[in-house]
Amino acid sequence: MKYLLLLLMVGISYSAVAQPKFLSVKANMQTGTGVQKGKLRNVYGFGATFESRLKALYPLKFTVGLDFGINGLKNQPYDLDFNGYITSTSVQYTSYVILLSAGLKYILWEEKALSPYAGVSVGGLNYYTSMSVEDQDDPDGCSPMETKPVSYSLVFAGKAEAGLRYKIKNGDRNGASFIEAGAGYLAGTKGKYLRLEKKPGHNHSDDDYMMKFTQNSTGQVHDHPLGSLYRTATSQLVFRVAYVCPL
């Protein structure tokens, strides 16, 4: 992460001189592929990217971006079976992904109404999940020993993207506005992320996320699976549309 911060500082300092600057406001969708396919729920969100031309390297642009996406927000009922007694409860589940990145962007025909573009970036990707387990206060049932567990993981990630840019407001290259649509691939180091899902019967796997409960009448401590905790490399397809305007 210290190298990412150094890159951000150098890029911002270099682009702080009187160069044309733009703001890209975007809507994103990410979906797991490869080792994350079927494990990571689709991520829907938004973001913003600051773009500044590099005078000595024109037409390259330096970019700094922040993206936020949600891939889980629900309240799911659970029936917990322990020694034949069923405790009905519910789990409030929130899961999101944050990406902070810096990179370079190249626009092939910046003066034209329609132009392809390509970009690369590197940064830190944060997987965050929190759950709130309702305690039913059932004297014969189960009570969670931890009511608000949290899963957190920070990984190093890089992204390559390509797409099309369409000019929607005329002006010179410093004053025009654009719509962009693109797709890319996001790859990163191994991280952990939690997916809330019901497990059928008593079949358990190595990926089960187990929470400790206490049987209220006997004090016996035991586990119940409340989902899957995956530990994989980051492998995602990214799709986005954006509005780009001068600052």
pLDDT tens digits along 133-166: 877 777 777 878 776 767 788 999 999 999 999 8
pLDDT classification of 17: cutoffs 50, 70, 90: very low
Q: Which domains does the chain have, with CATH numbers?
A: 2-16+25-75+93-134+148-191+232-246 (2.40.160.20)
8 A C-beta contact, residue 146 and residue 130: no
4 CB burial (10 A radius; 0-12, 13-18, 19+): middle
Mean pLDDT of 215-240: 86
The DSSP bridge pattern shows strands 85-107 and 114-133 to be antiparallel
Euclidean distance between CA atoms 247 and 238, whole angstroms: 26
230-244 per-position pLDDT tens digit: 899 999 999 999 998
The pLDDT, as a whole number, for residue 134 is 75
Q: Rounded mean pLDDT of the chain? A: 82
Ordered DSSP codes for 120-169: EEEEEEEEEEEEEE-----TTSEEES-SS-EEEEEEEEEEEEEEEEEEEE
60-116 per-position pLDDT tens digit: 888 999 999 998 888 878 877 777 778 778 888 889 999 999 999 988 887 788 889
Euclidean distance between CA atoms 218 and 143, whole angstroms: 12
The pLDDT, as a whole number, for residue 19 is 63
Handedness of CA 144, 145, 147, 153 (dihedral sign): negative
The pLDDT, as a whole number, for residue 8 is 47
